[in-house]
Structure 1
Amino acid sequence: MLIVLGATGNIGREVAKLMIDNAEQAVFLSRQPQKLQPQLNGHLVRAADLDEPASLERAMAGGTKLLLVSPNSAAMQRQQSNAIQAALNSGIQHIVKISGTPKSVRQDSVSAVGRAHWHIEQQLKAQAPAYSILQCNFFMQNLLGLQAGMVRKSGKITLPFAADTVFRFINTADIAACAVRLLTDDKVQSQTYNLSGQASSFQQLADELSRLLASRVNYKQIPLWLTQLVMRFKGMPKTQVQHQLEMTRLYQQGISDDASDAVQLLTGRPAISLPQFLEQHLAEFKQQ
C-alpha cells in the first residue's frame, strides 16, 4: 500500500490526481483529514502530524512505500526525520523523497534548506531498505506568484539575475509523474535523480510572454539589496527572506546549469517546456 504525505501541496496534489486517475490504491496523510477527504474521491485519508511520531506510525500501518515531501521550513529536517523513522518502524520498504535543487543539497551549502535536505538524504541512504531521491530545480509553478504579479501590474519582470543566467525550470506535474512511476514500480533500485527542464532564463520568460500576450514584457536585472528590501517591505517572514537570498546567490553562481534526462527516463516523455507551461497558464499573466 502506498502512503502519501503532503497531498495538499503543489507536488502532492499532482501525485494524488495521478493516483486517482490511474486507480492506484493509496492512503493520504493529513493533519486535517476532514478537509482533505472531499478532494480525494473516497480514497482513504488518515490523520497524521509530522510533529507527532506516534500519529505517523499509526497512519503508516500496512504501508509498503512512502512519498516523503513537506514544506521548506526550519522544522523540515526534524519533521522528515520523524517521518522516516515512523516509516521504518511501520515496515515501509521504499521511500521516495522530494529534495532540493541538486547543487544546493550539500553538507556545506550556503542554503540552510539545502543543508537540511542533505542530512535527510543521508538518513535515508543509511537506514531505508530502498530509496529514491528526486532533487528538483526551480518549480515552474513558482512563476505564477511573484513574476506573474509583476507582469499583470507593470508588464515587466525585475529580478536580481543577469539576463543570461541559466535556469532549468521544472513543472511540478513532471515531478509528480516521476514520483508516481517510482512508487508504483517494484523493480527500482536506490538512486538519486536530478529533475530539471530545458535550459532557460528569465529573459526567455519575458520574451515568451511577449509573444503569447502580443505585448512587450521587459526584463530588468536589479541589485540583490533592492530585492531584499522589497521582500521585507512586503512583510515576508524573516526565515523566508533568508531562504530566498541564499537561493538567489546560488542561482547567480549557476547551480541550475546541469542538464538531465531523468524526466524522460522515468516517464518516457520529455519534460514540459517553459513555452508549454506558459501557454497552459497564460491567464495568470494577463491584466485583470
Structure 2
Amino acid sequence: MKTGSFLAALAVAATLATDVPAQETTIIVQSTTSTANSGLYDHLLPIFERDSGITVNVVAVGTGQAIRNAANCDGDVLLVHAKPAEEEFVASGGGVSRTDLMYNDFVIVGPPSDPAGIGGLTDVHAALRGIAESEALFASRGDDSGTHKKEMSLWNAAGVDPAEASGAWYRETGSGMGATLNAGIGMGAYVMTDRATWISFGNKQDHVIQVQGDEQMFNQYGVIPVSPEACPQVEAEAGQRFVDWLVSEAGQAAIGAYRVGGQQLFFPNAPEPN
C-alpha cells in the first residue's frame, strides 16, 4: 500500500473509532427499601447521573438481604440502616469503609382507638410493654431488615419476647415496609416504621403516629463501597465516586433538600472532610 493510501486508511479508522460511543458505566446500589420507597433516589440520582455520566441502578430490599447481596458481589455500593451489621460487613472484608450518611427516626403508628393506650408516649419501651400487656395487635416486618432489627432490639430492651405471641397478637408479615403497613392498617394493628416511609405512604387511612420522640428510635443510615479485593469485578472507581458525592457538600445538600408534602424526610450527617 502506498504511503498516502495507508495514511488515509488510518484517518478513516480513527474517525470510525471516535464515532463509537464510549461504554456507559453503570453501578448497582444494594439499598434498604425506605430510601427507595420514599422517593429519595428519584430526587438524587438524576443530579448525580447528570454530573458524573454514571448510571445508578438500585436494588431495594431489606437491610439484611442487601448486605447478603453485597457479600455475594451483587453490588458496587451498600446503603442501609443497621450500623452493627454494616460494621461487621466491613470488618469481614466485604466493604472498604463505612460512613454515616443521614438519619431520621422510627415511629409507632396505630389506629385512633389506641387499644393499648400508648398514644403520646415518648418512652418506646413503655409503649411496647403496653402493647404486649394489652395484647393489642402489632404487625412486624419479620424480615431481617434494618427496621426489623431495630424493632427486635427495642422489644428486647423492653423485656418482652414477642415471638412467644407469634400468630396471636404479634403478626409477622415477612414483607417490606409498605406491605407491612398495608397489612397492619387492614387489621387495625400497631406498626413500627421509619418516618420517611410513613410520610410518603399513601394508604394511611385513619392510622396516626402514636409514639415518637424517644432517642432510642434514632435511625442512622450508612454508605459503604463494596471491596474490590473481595469482589474483583466490582465497579470500584464509579462506586467510590457515588459514595464521595453522597457525602460531599453537594450530595448532603441534595439529601437535605428532599421534601414530601413540605416535610424533610432525611437529615444529612456525613462527617466533614479532614
The normalised TM-score by structure 1 is 0.29
Relative contact order (C-alpha < 8 Å, sep 6+): which is higher?
Answer: 2
Q: Looking at CA atoms only, which structure, 1 or 2, has the larger radius of gyration?
A: 2
**Going by fraction, where is strand more abundant, 1 or 2?**
2
